[in-house]
Structure 1
């Protein structure tokens, strides 16, 4: 399993939210491009970028900044989420050089768009983002909670060609309280590759995630920015359940 640093963008800054609450924001840097370079310098294998303004407004709002981030980390694949809700949005996002796009709200509300996106760009380049609160899926930048169960959304998306899911437990995100391991394992049992997100604060959390079959990556944000977890070499970003930190 690999660890992927999160880079959340709001108004051109690198920030972190607590439990998806836009009113509980902490700014870590006014220079997201430099932050991206620092993660590449430390050996991170991927970069996970979220356009928080886009997620809230419903369209990709910071593609110019994303393009500068991608250009600043040559050879490092970038996956982008936030506000990607049409094929045109996806075209524009891929045009700035991202490697993968995350469909969140659109992936939940428009299964036909999921099928179109997978057919157009390939299953390896389209990820379903499932943001959950108490087993139900949230949309529009986590601001609206639906009645849709997580399992039903993923099963539908898988039928439309989705092979990979980013699962975020909103109540754990930004809290350092530990991931929701049971929920993540339940998602993995649905037959998709899983990128786990939310709550990681310690090496033990990463080891436990690595032990869950089909969990291929963990996105980590606050623990990296606050220094609870520190990575210095490319090997550190690869985790196994048996040895934890280091080569897997």
Structure 2
């Protein structure tokens, strides 16, 4: 299981939201590329990067920050938020983004998901399944899709998706611990390489996730707020798992 530090970009700053609420965002840095450099120095290999403006269809606001992060860090980057057309995929591929995260598009633009798989391969395509009370949220978590996450995962399995990030929105940004039961169920029911996201607050949370007894082990865990608030030491976490 790998530990994946997160940077969420809003107006070119690194921020964290509380349960996906944009009105409850906290700014942690106006130089997010320096955070990425620090994560690399502490042993991380993969960065989870989200364009929150893009997720709300505010396109282009964070482009310079994304580019600077890509140019200044050796980390592999998986990036999501606002990828809803081929042109965006082409651009991110051109600047060296390693993996593309499709969330809203997996529901609203299934042809784009198919195109991404055919063009870039299964290893470079990640689907974000973000759910509240079992229902998938889209458009920066601000709209209800009306789709149960189990139904979406059934469709993703049929489509041949290998990598999924699952977020329980009710836990995200709370430091209240992950939804262990949800991950246990998903890992026992689907063939995905699953990345957990939401609620991580301590090394114990990571240990609990890594020790889940499931058919498929958890691939990775995303952590953001716990790092920024000093609740979790990244280097220690990586060496302990």
The TM tier, using the shorter chain, reads: over 0.9
- How big is the shift at 1:88? 1.5
1:4 is matched with 4
Would you say how many aligned residue pairs link Structure 1 and Structure 2?
237
Matched, 1:91 2:90: yes
Q: Given the superposition, is the C-alpha separation of residues 66 and 120 from structure 1 closer, same or farther in structure 2, using an over 3 Å criterion?
A: same
> What residue ranges of structure 2 are gaps of 5+ in the alignment?
none
For 1:87 and 1:47, the matched residues in 2 are separated by: 23
Give runs of ≥4 in structure 1 deviating > 3 Å: 58-61
The answer (yes or no) to whether the contact 1:192–1:214 under 8 Å persists in 2 is no
Task: Write the deviation string for residues 96-155 of structure 1: whole angstroms up to 9, x where unpaired.
Answer: 111101001001222222111101000000000011001110000000122201011111
For 1:27 and 1:221, the matched residues in 2 are separated by: 12
Q: Which moved more, 1:25-34 or 1:52-61?
A: 52-61
RMSD: 1.4
Q: With structure 2 as the length reference, what TM-score do the two structures score?
A: 0.94
- How big is the shift at 1:58? 5.9
1:139 is matched with 138
- How big is the shift at 1:214? 3.2
- How big is the shift at 1:195? 0.3
1:242 is matched with none
For 2:93 and 2:109, the matched residues in 1 are separated by: 20
- How big is the shift at 1:59? 4.1
1:241 is matched with none
- How big is the shift at 1:61? 3.9
Q: With structure 1 as the length reference, what TM-score do the two structures score?
A: 0.91
Q: Given the superposition, is the C-alpha separation of residues 122 and 81 from structure 1 closer, same or farther in structure 2, using an over 3 Å criterion?
A: same
1:220 is matched with 223
For 2:192 and 2:19, the matched residues in 1 are separated by: 25
Please give the residue correspondences for 1:159-198 in structure 2 after superposition, counting only pairs within 5 Å: 159-188=158-187, 189-198=189-198
2:124 is matched with 125
